[in-house]
């Protein structure tokens, strides 16, 4: 399954919500978007949320809007 994700770094706590109007998951992360820290945290948060082990960022690795593949 592929999902669209909008990442919001530098937030006080982690949070996932789904925006039905835009059909996109919005994920608040504590990490800064430096040296892949936010991407690593995003994958960890999505693994916990979906209960899946194989999650890959397909596109948007340096963007706040990403396409993520979940197996």
Whole-number pLDDT of residue 52: 79
Mean pLDDT by 10 residues, the chain (71 residues): 96 96 97 93 96 93 96 90
Q: Which two tokens stand for residue 19?
A: 């925006």
Whole-number pLDDT of residue 6: 98
Whole-number pLDDT of residue 69: 96
Burial of 49 (0-12, 13-18, 19+ CB in 10 A): middle
In this predicted model, what pLDDT tens digit does every residue of 33-47 receive, in sequence order? Answer: 999 999 999 999 999
Give the count of beta carbons closer than 10 Å to the beta carbon of residue 62: 8
Q: Which two tokens stand for residue 22?
A: 């835009």
Beta-sheet pairing, 55-59 with 15-19 = unpaired
Q: What are the domain boundaries of the chain?
A: 2-70
Report the alpha-carbon distance of residue 15 to residue 9 in Å, rounded.
Answer: 11
2-70 maps to CATH 3.30.1200.10: yes
């Amino acid at each position: 399954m592929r999902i669209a994700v909008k990442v919001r770094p530098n937030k006080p706590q982690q949070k996932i919500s789904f925006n039905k109007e835009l059909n996109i998951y919005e994920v608040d992360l504590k990490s800064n978007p430096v040296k892949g820290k936010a991407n690593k945290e995003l994958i960890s948060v999505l693994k916990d949320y979906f209960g899946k082990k194989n999650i890959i960022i397909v596109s948007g690795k340096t963007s706040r809007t990403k396409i993520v593949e979940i197996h």
